[in-house]
Structure 1
Amino acid sequence: MVRKFLYAVAAIIVLITVGRIALLFWAEDLTEMAFVPDVTFQPQPAMAMNAWDKSDMWIARPGMLPKADPSRYLPQGASLPAGKPLSAAVFFVHPTSYVEKNAWNASLNDQASRDLAGLYVKGMATPFNAADQLWAPRYRQAAIGAFLTDDPQADKAIDLAYGDVLAAFDAFIKTVPQDQPIVLAGHSQGSFLLRRLLRDRVAGTPLAERIAAAYIVGWPVSIDHDLPEMGLKPCDRPEQAGCVMSWLTVADPAETAQLVKAYVRRHGLDGQPLTQKTAQGVAIDSPFLCSNPLTGTRNGVADAQANLGTLVPDPASWNGELVRQIVPAACESDMFLHIGPPPKLDLGPYVLPGNNYHVYDYTLFWANIRADFERRIAAWQKQHS
C-alpha cells in the first residue's frame, strides 16, 4: 500500500510540474490548447438523492478515523485549542485537482485527482479543524480547462460540478444543529461554486443568520455583481461575524493579466458582465474584494511581524511546519494581495508564472486564518448568546 501511495504521489507531482512548465513557457493560446478538453461534453445523470449520505462521498467528515481524514492534520508548531473543540460546522470545497483534457468533468473514481484533492484538503482545510465538524465533499469537478475557454461546454461542466456541491451541501446542512454556526470555505473552483451556493441557498433565508464567515479564496468576488447576491457583507473588522473573506495572492513583480481574463470571462452572480467597453478597449467594470488574512480586514496592510505562521511543506515526508513572521501581505490598487518579493522559503515548485501564488493562498497565512476563524466563531456566539 505504501508503494502504491508513493506512485500516486509521484504521478501527482508529474501532473502539476507539467502544467506549471506549460504555463511558464507557452503563450496564452497554447496554454488553452494544453488544458481545454478536446472531447464533446457528455451529460451525466444526477447523483442519487442520498448519495452524500454515504461516507465514501466525503474526503473529510465527522466520524472518520483520524488517519483517513486529511482535514485532521496538524503541522509541526500547531495545536488544537485547549478544552472542547469549537462548536461549529465547516463546509469546505476543494479546488480543481483534475488537470486532464480527456473529459470535461472528473470521474469520482479518478485516482490521481482523488489523491491530489486529499492533499489540498490537508493543506487548505486544516486551519478550520478546531471545529467539531469539518466536511469536505467529493464532487465531479470541472476540468481545469473549463476555466480557460469561452466554449459553452465549459458552462455545462461547471453546472454539473455545481449540482454535486449543492447536493452535498444539502446533505451537510441536515446534520448541523439549528443553534450551531456554519462556516463556508473553498479555494479556486471550490470558491467559484460557493459564491453561487451562497446566492441560491443562503441569501435571503434564515440560514444567512447562521453563517459565521465565508472564506471565498482564490477566485475574485465582485463587489458590485457578486456580494449583493451572496447576502453577506465583506469582513471589515477582525471580530465581525457573518461576512466574506476573499483574496488572490501574488508576489512582486506580479503579472495578473491572465488571472483577470479568467475572472471577466464569467458573468457576475447578478448575470451582468464584469467588463465595459472603453476608448482604450475592455476594462473591468467592477473591482473585486481583497481581504487581508493577516489583519482580518478589507484592504488591509501588514508587515511580516503579523504573520503567525506559514505552512512550509516537506515533500520528502508529506509533512510540514509553521514558520513565523516571514510573509507580509498588502491589498494593493490592482485588488490582489501582494506579499512583496518572493519569500525566502522552500515552498516547492508550484508557484505559477507571473509570481502567482495561487496554490499557496491558504498555506502562506495558515496560522492567521486559524486565528481569524476562531475569532469569527466567537463573534457569532456572542451575537447569538
Structure 2
Amino acid sequence: MVVRLLLKFLFLQLFFMLTSCGTYKTQTFSDKIIPIKPNYELESSWAVLPSKYSDDFKKYASNNIDTLKADVFYIYPTLNTSKKDIRWNVPITDKEQKSKIINKAVLFQASAFALSGKMYVPLYRQAHYRSFVKDYKSEGKNALDLAYEDVKEAFKVYLKNYNNNRPIIIAGHSQGARHGVQLLKDFFDNSPLQEKLIAAYLPGIKILPDEFRTVRPMSSPREVGGFVSWNTFKKGKYPKNKYWYKGAVTSNPITWDEKLNTSIEQHKGFLYSDGKLYTKALKIDVTNNGLIWSTNPKFPLRFFMSFLKNYHSGDINLFWQDVRENSLLRTQEWFDKNNK
C-alpha cells in the first residue's frame, strides 16, 4: 500500500516537470482530425448525471440526491498530457481518458460539491496539454476553442433538459476553469441567468478582477452570484512565467474573505489520493501577485512533496473540505435570500 501511494505521489511530482519542458509529437490541426461531435441528448455523452453516479462517487454524495435543490455543472481539467499523443483533442469515447475523468478528476475534485447539488459532468473533447505551451499556442487555441464548443453545447442541453429553473454552481479547474470563464461570459454575465448563479469556483487559471461586466469576485464566505479563483504554490516559490498569475483574482480558499494568511487550525481538510481526509494539514498566505502560498501539507508522504513547488494539481483537493463546506454555505445563503 505504501509503495503504491508513493508511486502515485512521485507521478504527481513529475507531472509538471515532464509536461512543462521538451517537445511534443504533434500534427497539423484540421477538420480532418477533429473527433466526432458529442450528442448531449445521450446519457453516454455525460461522465456524471444524477442518474449515473459511480459507486465510489456515491461515498461523497448525498444519500438522497432527489432532495438536493441546486445543481453543480463541473468541467474537468486537462488530463491528456502524453508527449507521444499527437491528437489535439480527445474523443469522448477514449477509454483511458474517460477512466481518468471519472476516477481522478470527478472523484477528487467534483466530489467536493456533491452535497451542494445534483452533479452534471459532460464529457468533452478536451484539448491536449500542449495547447497551453508557448510553441504550440497557435493551433492550441483551435483545440481549446473546439473543447469549449462541447462545453457550451452541453450546458445548453443541461439548461433545456435538466435544470428546471434551479440555482447553479459552476465549478472547473485549469482547462475546465478556462471553459467555465467563457460559460459565465456567454450565459450569466449581465444576463438574467446570473440570478440563478450560486457561485463559480474556478481555480487554476488567471482571472482578472474586471474579467466580467457584472459577475464579480467574491470576498466573503456567504456571498453569492460571483466567482472565486486561486493558484497554489509552495510557500516562497513562483511560477517561471508570472504572466499566468500576476494581477489575478486570489481568493482565500480557507476563510473565503480578505484575510491574507491562515493558521493551521483553520484548514478543514485535504483529500488525498488514498481517499483519506487530512485536517489541519496546511496554512496559507495570499500574495499580492496572484498566488496562494501553501506550507508543505502534513500527511504521510509530505517529505516527497517538499520537492514540489507547483501545487496546481491540488488546487481543489488541498482545500477539499474547505470547498465542500463553503459551497454548502453559499447554497444555503442563496436559498435564504431568494425565499424571503
- 1:107-146 → structure 2 map (5 Å cutoff): 107-118=91-102, 119-146=104-131
Deviates more, 1:181-190 or 1:53-62: 53-62
Counterpart of 1:355 in structure 2 is 309
Give SS of 1:135's match.
strand
Counterpart of 1:95 in structure 2 is 77
CA distance in 2, matches of 1:143, 1:83: 34
- 1:306 and 2:260 are equivalent in the alignment: no
Q: 1:251 aligns with which of 216, 234, 240?
A: 234
Show CA shifts across 1:331-383 (max 9, x none): 1122211112x223246899697611111111111111111001111111122
- 1:162-311 → structure 2 map (5 Å cutoff): 162-174=148-160, 175-178=162-165, 180-224=166-210, 226=211, 228-229=212-213, 231-258=214-241, 260-261=242-243, 263=244, 287-298=247-258, 300-311=260-271
**Match for 1:149: what amino acid?**
K
**Match for 2:229: what amino acid?**
S
Give SS of 2:183's match.
helix
Show CA shifts across 1:214-245 (max 9, x none): 00111121123x2x24x311111111111111
**Match for 1:125: what amino acid?**
A
2:116–2:331 Cα contact (<8 Å) kept: no
**Match for 1:370: what amino acid?**
R
Instruction: Give 1:99 deviation, angstroms.
Output: 1.3
Give SS of 2:40's match.
helix
CA distance in 2, matches of 1:350, 1:110: 32
**Match for 2:96: what amino acid?**
A
Give SS of 2:271's match.
strand
- 1:327 and 2:267 are equivalent in the alignment: no
CA distance in 2, matches of 1:25, 1:66: 31
Q: 1:191 to 1:376 in 2, by over 3 A?
A: same
Q: 2:90 aligns with which of 97, 100, 106?
A: 106
**Match for 1:215: what amino acid?**
Y
CA distance in 1, matches of 2:106, 2:264: 25
Q: 1:56 to 1:102 in 2, by over 3 A?
A: same
Show CA shifts across 1:136-155 (max 9, x none): 11000000000012531111
Counterpart of 2:37 in structure 1 is 47
Q: 1:22 to 1:211 in 2, by over 3 A?
A: closer
CA distance in 2, matches of 1:327, 1:186: 23
Instruction: Give 1:32 deviation, angstroms.
Output: 4.7
1:212–1:243 Cα contact (<8 Å) kept: yes
Give SS of 1:370's match.
helix
TM-score where L is the length of structure 2 = 0.86
The answer to which structure has the higher strand fraction is 1
**Match for 2:78: what amino acid?**
T
Instruction: Give 1:81 deviation, angstroms.
Output: 8.7
1:104–1:154 Cα contact (<8 Å) kept: yes
RMSD over equivalenced CA pairs, Å = 2.8
1:58–1:138 Cα contact (<8 Å) kept: yes
TM-score where L is the length of structure 1 = 0.77
- 1:24 and 2:17 are equivalent in the alignment: yes
CA distance in 2, matches of 1:20, 1:300: 27
CA distance in 1, matches of 2:124, 2:309: 30
CA distance in 1, matches of 2:63, 2:252: 23
User: Structure 1: which 5+ runs fail to align?
Assistant: 1-9, 265-283, 315-319
Show CA shifts across 1:297-355 (max 9, x none): 245421110111211222xxxxx111211111221122211112x22324689969761
1:313–1:321 Cα contact (<8 Å) kept: yes
**Match for 2:218: what amino acid?**
C
2:190–2:215 Cα contact (<8 Å) kept: no
**Match for 1:155: what amino acid?**
K
Q: 1:168 to 1:299 in 2, by over 3 A?
A: farther
CA distance in 2, matches of 1:367, 1:199: 28
2:35–2:125 Cα contact (<8 Å) kept: no
- 1:375 and 2:335 are equivalent in the alignment: no
Q: 1:168 to 1:190 in 2, by over 3 A?
A: same
Instruction: Give 1:202 deviation, angstroms.
Output: 1.3
Give SS of 2:73's match.
strand
CA distance in 1, matches of 2:49, 2:186: 23
CA distance in 2, matches of 1:61, 1:328: 35
Show CA shifts across 1:257-284 (max 9, x none): 23x34x28xxxxxxxxxxxxxxxxxxx5
**Match for 1:41: what amino acid?**
F
2:116–2:327 Cα contact (<8 Å) kept: no
Number of aligned pairs?
326
Counterpart of 2:47 in structure 1 is 59
Q: 1:73 to 1:96 in 2, by over 3 A?
A: farther
